[in-house]
Amino acid sequence: MVGNWKLNLDHLQAIDLVQKLAWTLADAKHDYDLTEVVVAPSFTSLRSVQTLVDGDKLSIRYASQDVSSHSSGAYTGEVSAEQLAKLGVSYAIIGHSERRQYHGEAEELINAKVAAALGAGIAPIVCVGESLEVRHAKGHVPLTLGHVDGALAGLTSEQASQVVIAYEPVWAIGTGEVATPEDAQEMAEAIRARIAETFDSGVANGMRILYGGSVKADNVAAIMAKPDVDGALVGGASLVLDQFSAIARFRQL
């Protein structure tokens, strides 16, 4: 279960939320081996979150919301995978629809970011999914699979087995519109089949495929009941302690 905080919370608010999340999950005797819990704060909060997680030996993991495709050099404003790995970052969200929409990110760059993350030992969480227009035109399957092909181009099976894919239909992000569990299953199944075709069934079966788009405590269990959906990438609800801790404990809901 990944909480993408997007552009919210300063570093003090970030450590407050992680601390409270850890306490709440400890009270509930959360089994982190069964359900991994990841938060993705702003870059400015990662060092503070690292200090808290290390100091208190928390099992919560943390992700960056983006990563540079470059390792070092004259790239003002960029943050490299190596710098993130030094901060104990486990995952990097790559190719989120908001980066595609507002920063013009497309397949070639996304593919380079995936390679950069893997090179530093960070697991990419690759976001794929269609707009409402594409969904209405029934082009969602080829478009989403095109995102998958583009992001994973040139990877070995071993590298691909480190990747997490998040299916996020753009029309369901922050809108309150949730794709039905059947919509999520349809795409997760299609993504897994494409991975089996491109790599092999071992990679496909082991791959974690998340659904994202208006996931809340009251709809997470139905989505997670689908066989090909392994987790959720949660935006708005991940900023609300009661919501995200309940989502992490979806098995008990």
Ligand X SMILES: O=C[C@H](O)COP(=O)(O)O
Q: Tell me which residue has its CB nearest to ligand X.
A: 235
Is 140 one of the annotated active-site residues of the chain? no
**Is 4 known to sit in a ligand binding site?**
yes
Residue 38, interface with ligand X (CB under 6 A)? Answer: no
Is 168 one of the annotated active-site residues of the chain? yes
Q: Segment 82-111, which members bind ligand X (CB under 6 A)? A: 96
Q: Smallest distance, Å, CB 125 to ligand X? A: 9
Query: Roughly what angle, to the nearest 10 degrees, separates helices 140-152 and 107-119?
Result: 40
Residue 129, interface with ligand X (CB under 6 A)? Answer: no
Closer CB to ligand X, 114 or 203, in the complex? 114
**Is 171 known to sit in a ligand binding site?**
no
Contact segment (CB under 6 A) with ligand X among 10-18, 51-59, 213-221, 240-248 equals 213-221
Sign of the Cα pseudo-torsion (44, 46, 47, 49, in order): positive
Residue 236, interface with ligand X (CB under 6 A)? Answer: yes
Task: Kindly give, in sequence order, each residue whose CB lies less than 8 Å from that of residue 16, ignoring residues fewer than 6 positions away.
Answer: none
Contact segment (CB under 6 A) with ligand X among 25-33, 99-107, 135-143, 210-218 equals 210-218
- Candidates 187, 215, 229, 246; binder of ligand X (CB under 6 A) is 215
Helix (H, G, I), strand (E, B) or coil at 96: coil
- Candidates 121, 142, 174, 202; binder of ligand X (CB under 6 A) is 174
Residue 241 contacts residue 21 (beta carbons within 8 Å): yes
- Candidates 66, 105, 130, 168; binder of ligand X (CB under 6 A) is 168
Residue 134 contacts residue 143 (beta carbons within 8 Å): yes
Q: Which long-range contacts (CB under 8 A, 24 or more apart) does 28-33 make?
A: 28/245, 28/249, 28/252, 30/248, 30/249, 32/59, 32/60
How far apart CA 139 and CA 132 sit, in angstroms, is: 10
Residue 41, interface with ligand X (CB under 6 A)? Answer: no
How far apart CA 241 and CA 253 sit, in angstroms, is: 16
Tell the residue number behind the tokens 């919210």, with chain if given.
8
Residue 125, interface with ligand X (CB under 6 A)? Answer: no
The catalytic residue positions are: 96, 168
Enumerate binding residues for ligand X (CB under 6 A): 4, 96, 168, 173-174, 212-215, 233-237
